[in-house]
Amino acid sequence: MNAKASSRNDLYLILGFIVAVALGPIIMTPFGGYPDLLQKFAIFGIFAIGFNILFGLTGYLSFGHAAFLGAGSYAAVWCFKLVGMNVLPAIISAMIVGGLFSALIGFVSLRRSGIYFSILTLAFAQMCYNLAYSVLGQPGMNLTNGETGLQLKLDDPRYFGESASESGTIPPTSMFGIEMKQIHEFDLFGMTVQVSNGYFVCALFVILAFYVSMRIFRSPFGMMLRAVKTNQNRMSYTGLNTRPYALAAFVISGMYAGLAGGLMSAMDPLAGAERMQWTASGEVVLMTILGGAGTLIGPIIGAGVIKYLENIFSSFNDQVMTGFFDFLPDWLGSAMVWITSPFVGEGWHLTLGVIFMLIVIFLPGGLMEGFARIGRLFRGSRKRGEGAADAPRVPAE
């Protein structure tokens, strides 16, 4: 594999990614996509990309990444409260806070590896959650507003902006006058496509995040991180201190999480403590493993699948399912509704669990391994007989 071909492949990859992100709203419309869901795809895509830099490259399984996402969200909302409604300072401060938190937690947690590291990060994240949920939400020193979540108010100072708009409402988040929540509609192929300004901002950041992650994967630094994953002892015996590398990866992925949290607040200016809960940390682990840990694109696909299940599958009630099986004869239709209904609506977790189990058992490399297998199947049948020996396979990236 020569360097030129590899960089050309990367170019195609990033171009393909940009096209996919740009056409996202159109592709998703027939499947029930709407602006908020698309923003979620992009935001959780960023979160998963960042997590993958740590877990996919160094193999350190952090069970507390949601803490950085939550810290970033709070930072962004405070920025809206104190500075103004422009999203850029909010997102930057979210990244800084995410980075600071991860440096602090990473410095302590990275003294251990394996399961001990996971437990340490989990403990720290749960600590952050409890602090945000009650200790820092008390009326005396109210940083987080507890269970309700930190919200904007009409009487927030906003020193570099206006406290209230002319019509007497809280001004919407914006980027130099472009409102995030404004939705554009246009008709295409007989369907109404909805795009919000916020999606363009999220799309820009997810492309940037993807590009940076790709450069990290290809860099000597990325190679060093892979070496940490492969055999850390051997690295130490060669006289190399691996901890700074692991810490750098941890902080970078913490900043990604902060960025995701900041974007979440920018799209919907509220920060709640449950963003820090261990279930949220577990979710990003699921996303990464479902899509394919250590691959570039996999975590984004995993994030998309989970968010789609959470938002669309959970909204199917019996009414919807009956409509769906309308074309079948009555008895078969109601039988199908009876069979499928435990898997939709509030049972979407069950669907997710089944999918996750199937993938872990049959495709340990995640969905990306599935795609790679399908791809090889086609290529294999074309190239068979030409005697093209399989080139040393690069992990599906």
Partner 1 sequence: MSFFNLSRRGLLKGSAALGAGLATPTIFTSSAWAQGYLNEPTGDTVTFGFNVPQTGAYADEGADELRAYELAVEHLNGGGDGGLLQTFSSKALTGAGVNGKKVAYVTGDTQTKSDAARASAKRMIESDGALMITGGSSSGVAIAVQGLCQEAGVIFMAGLTHSNDTTGKDKRRNGFRHFFNTEMSGAALGPILEANYGTDRKAYHLTADYTWGWSQEGSMKTYTEAIGWETVAAVRTPLGAGDFSQYLTPVLNSGADTLILNHYGRDMVNSLTQAVQFGMRDKVVNGKDFVIVVPLYSRLMAQGAGEAVKGIFGSTNWHWSLQDAGSQAFVKSFGQKYGFPPSQAAHTCYVQAMLYADAAQRAGTFHPCAIVEALEGYEFDGMGNGPTLYRAEDHQCFKPVLVVKGNENPTSQYDLLEVVDVTPTEKVMYPVDHPDFQGGDLGTCNAGI
Residues that bind partner 1 (CB under 8 A): 11, 14-15, 18, 22, 32, 34-37, 40, 130, 133-134, 137-139, 146-149, 151-155, 164, 167-170, 172, 178, 181-186, 194-195, 197, 200-201, 203-204, 207-208, 211-212, 215-216, 218-221, 268-270, 272, 274-275, 311, 314-315, 317, 345-346, 349
211 three-class SS: helix
The minimum distance between CB 186 and partner 1, in angstroms, equals: 5
Closest approach of partner 1 to the CB of residue 303, in Å: 14
- Complex with partner 1: residue 149 or 254, whichever CB lies closer: 149
CB of 374 to partner 1, least distance (A): 29
Dihedral pair phi/psi, residue 151, rounded to 5° = -125, 160
Residue closer to partner 1 by CB (options 184, 382) is 184
Nearer to partner 1, 350 or 377 (CB): 350
Q: Which is nearer to partner 1, 194 or 334 (CB)?
A: 194
Residue with smaller CB distance to partner 1, 283 or 369: 283
CB atoms within 10 A of CB 324: 15
Residues 6 or more apart whose Cβ sits within 8 Å of residue 45: 206, 209, 210, 299, 300, 303, 304
Q: Which residue's CB is nearer to partner 1, number 72 or number 365?
A: 72
Choice between 151 and 340, CB closer to partner 1: 151
Distance CA 282, CA 255 (A): 18
CB of 116 to partner 1, least distance (A): 26
Query: What's the count of helices (H) and strands (E) in the chain, helices before strands?
Result: 15, 6
Q: Which two structure tokens, joined as six digits, stand for 155?
A: 């009487």
Q: Name which of 105, 366, 124, 128 is nearest 246 in CA terms.
A: 105
Q: Whole-number minimum distance, CB 217 to partner 1, in Å?
A: 9
Q: How far apart are the first and last CA of the chain?
A: 14
The CA–CA distances, whole Å, from 307 to 34, 157, 300, 348 equal 12, 35, 11, 11
**Minimum Å distance from CB 248 to partner 1?**
9
- Rounded to 10 degrees, the C-alpha dihedral 384/387/392/394 comes to -30
Is residue 247 within 8 A of residue 106, CB to CB? The reply is yes
Q: What are phi and psi of 69, to 5 degrees?
A: -60, -45
117 or 343: CB nearest partner 1: 343
CB of 138 to partner 1, least distance (A): 8
Please count the residues of the chain: 397
Whichever of 112 and 243 has its CB closer to partner 1, that residue is: 243
Rounded Cα distance, 39 and 266, in Å: 11
Min dist CB 282 to partner 1, Å, is 15
Residue closer to partner 1, measured from CB, 128 or 195: 195
Q: 146-151: which pairs have CB atoms within 8 A and are 24 or more residues apart?
A: 146/273, 147/272, 147/273, 148/272, 149/270, 149/271, 149/272, 149/273, 150/74, 150/77, 150/78, 150/270, 150/271, 150/272, 151/77, 151/269, 151/270
User: What's the min distance (Å) between Cβ of 299 and partner 1?
Assistant: 18
Residue-wise DSSP of 236-282: HHTT---HHHHHHHHHHHHHHHHHHHHHHHHHS-EE-GGGGSHHHHH
CB of 211 to partner 1, least distance (A): 8
